[in-house]
Structure 1
Amino acid sequence: MLLPLLALALTGHSASTNPHKPITLSSTGGFQIGGRTMSAPFNPNLTLSCDHGYMEYFLPTRPRKTSLVMWHSSSTQVWQNTWSGGAGFKDLFLRRDYPVYLWDGPRVGRANWACEATVYTPAYMDTSNFVAWNFGPRYKQWWDGVRFPTEDEDAWQQATSARYVEYDTKSNVELHARAAAVAADSGRIGRDIVYLTNSAGGLRAQLTATLSNSTNIKGIVTYESIGYVYPDNLNITAGKGGFGPYVVPLEDFKKLARVPGIQFVWGDHRAENYSYVQESRRVAGLINKYGGNAEVVKLGEVGVRGATHIPFADLGNEDVAGLLDEFLEGNGLDGRKKIMLCYIGLHVTVYMYRPQTLGFLACMV
């Protein structure tokens, strides 16, 4: 029994990406975080707790040290499955033993208890969803080779039905970022956090990093980010809507340069002169100017063709996951939590590292 345990301690649990590898979890759950409690104007004894975010978590039995926070701008569903219903990034990275967190920002999804009145007016969104998610140049005209099951009408219905109501306003971006910064600084999602974001979630994650007062945010990988944060020394006029540009004090912007790794990822149907591609290159350059480590990756240039606006949900998303593996490894974010081997007589017990409970045991890391 001792030798296998020593091997486990020294080499770590297998990082196999076998799609049939069982997912073993120590716990799952969820919690609300951030937000505020306000009193009714007509009766201060009546209160409402609101504008919090909701975090669902999945913790592997032998976890890596880095927590992956999957932040949607459309729905948590896009992280859970591919367009065909196969394994999404949630399961792909649980099989790699990363703790996974699915985040619903304030007023959307499972965190829709708002401090202000919200309005939903039905709009005919299927057509615009098709184009916005870059399935093709216009409704039901698919890109050649697109990584979507184009002949499967149910797959299309699942995709367009999964979208949450979004509030893409400047105030909502700030609201989401404040709640996410509280979550990041709390330690409840770990001390090594990598945000995986999509679309308008990219702007929110960037702003979160500028608001955070800890060093817990270790990475941001944003797929087709719509909206960017700039420092206030460039004479850039802040946008009035929810897609930026967003302007912050220079000292806050420099917090992005202290994040060990930032990656802006684009599919192969985004032209180089697309405004948000150009912005991503400009912001990456600014982050690097202040000592950061940011890069722009175009999937078509690294051999991943046919990507949609949500490439981690595409058919063959293992290719995109492989690029994320390289990012995490390259930035030293793929390590494992320490495991201690503790000896009691002839028995051997394996513990996750909790020094306060192990002082009386003979242990080795």
Structure 2
Amino acid sequence: MALFRSLLATFAVTAALMGSPAHDAESKADPLIIAEQGSFAAGGTVQKAPGTYVNNAPTARGQSFHGDHLYAFYQVPEKPRRLPIIMLHGAYQSGRSWETTPDGREGFQTLFLRRHFTTYIVDQPRRGRAGNSTIAATIEPVPNDQLFFDQFRLGTWPNFFDGVQFDRDPQALDQFFRAVTPNTGPYDANVISSAMSALLERTGPAILFTHSQGGEPGWLTAIHSPNVKAVVAFEPGSGFVFPEGEAPADMPSAAGTLKAVEIPASEFARLTRIPIIIYYGDNIPTEPTAERGKDNWRVRLAMAKLWVAAVNRHGGDARLVHLPEIGIRGNTHFLMSDLNNQAVADQVSRFLAEKNLD
């Protein structure tokens, strides 16, 4: 037994020297007990072609088509907390964003299961495992890996940023690129929020996590569904909704112009009734730059700050945390899967505890 304890101590010291958080080492040593899991579709529409279906001479006539739903995979841990967490991905991604990390560590799905939250991982309509779109789209194999390397702030191709929280192993980068998933139909925030609202009718009250492009349908979902009890947004990139007449001016950048979205004041007011927190990572400049990948996020962070101010001006409870400013450095656009995702998860856990949502 003494030898066993000695080996455990050696392992703990080695893990610390390698930069692994002790909490991470402990959690991986413990079995993860899942009491229930499954998957289902939520929302969507059914289209029907006129005519009569002929079994032995099939055409489109008389047939139906189910589309524009989302896919949800859920897991319920032993002794679950009262509110589940629904995780909505961003552009060119799927629920895989939350499942694991490019270097094979536990993603937010598992980290929060270990913290006894039931989790729902979503593939949004017209993406991934919810690919049936009621509107046609052409998917072209256009090379875009290097664009995403820059756009998602791993670095400036082919070089990683100094201190970036991304594993330099080529296999990790390969996995990162292979997580990219195309749209099978036009992106439509209203279609997504409609399906998300249907999901929340099934789950009941829940906490909503969003990432990147998931920000706009996340805000719309929180507006339309009273079951959203809080929003935790990771680097929302577009679709910032403002009351009519209060939208800030367009924000040009090296990556294009960012525009706000105006909605009725009565709808915006619903966002002031729940706690909201937004997180952004590192390598985002404060002044304009010709570097497209960086300048793209300069205006998005600036717009997010104006959005938080608008929510609070109307009596809401919104907060923006720029992680480098609190000593958490090196994060990419994928905060939930970076090397320090445990530290980011800890920040979220503290917020949920502060708001009595845990």
> Do the two structures share a fold, i.e. TM-score over 0.5?
yes
* Alignment correspondent of 1:100: 119
Q: Which residue does the alignment assign to 1:219?
A: 230
User: Contact (CA 8 Å) 1:72, 1:78: kept in 2 or not?
Assistant: yes
Instruction: State the SS of the aligned residue for 1:109.
Output: coil
- Under a length normalisation based on structure 1, what TM-score does the superposition of the two structures give? 0.80
Q: Please tell me whether residue 26 in structure 1 is matched to residue 35 in structure 2.
A: yes
Structure 1: how far apart are the matches of 2:118 and 2:333?
A: 25
Aligned twin of 1:68:
85
Cα distance in 2 between the residues matched to 1:153 and 1:168: 32
TM-score (norm 2): 0.81
Structure 2: which amino acid aligns with 1:22? P
The equivalent residue for 1:160 is 177
Contact (CA 8 Å) 1:52, 1:105: kept in 2 or not? yes
Identity of aligned residues (%): 30
Equivalent runs, 1:274-289 vs 2, <5 Å: 274-289=298-313
Match of residue 213 from structure 2 = 200
Structure number with higher helix proportion: 2
CA contact (8 A) 2:75 2:119 kept: yes
Indicate conservation of the 8 Å contact 2:247/2:260, yes or no.
no
Quote the offset at 1:75 in angstroms: 2.3
1:84 aligns with 2:99: no
From the superposition, tell whether residues 197 and 167 of structure 1 become closer, same or farther in structure 2 (CA, over 3 Å): farther
Q: 1:207 to 1:99 in 2, by over 3 A?
A: same
Q: Are the equivalent residues in 2 in contact too, given 1:177–1:205 (CA < 8 A)?
A: yes
Partner of 1:267: 281
Is 1:52 the equivalent of 2:65?
no
Aligned length: 309
Counterpart residue type for residue 82 of structure 1: T
Whether the 8 Å CA contact 2:47–2:65 is kept in 1: the answer is yes
Residue number in structure 2 paired with 1:318: 342
- From 158, 161, 167, give the equivalent of 1:140: 158
Runs of 5+ consecutive residues of structure 2 not aligned to the other structure: 1-22, 53-60, 288-297
Amino acid at match of 2:276: I
How many Å separate the matches in 2 of 1:218 and 1:257? 11
Q: What amino acid sits opposite 2:166 in the alignment?
A: F
Indicate the residue corresponding to 1:246 in structure 2.
Answer: 261
How much does 1:235 deviate? 5.7
CA contact (8 A) 2:48 2:63 kept: yes
Answer yes or no: is the 8 Å Cα contact 2:134–2:185 preserved in 1. Answer: no
Output one character per residue of 1:34-77: Cα deviation in whole Å (capped at 9) or x when no partner.
11111114557321111111111001121001211111111222
2: CA distance between counterparts of 1:119 and 1:180? 25
**4+ residue runs over 4 A deviation:** 41-44, 235-239, 241-244
Superimposed CA distance per residue, residues 143-197 of structure 1 (whole angstroms, 9 cap, x where no aligned partner): 00111111x111101001111114796x61121111112222x1x2231x11111
Gaps of 5+ in 1: 1-15, 335-365
Residue 176 of structure 1 corresponds to 192
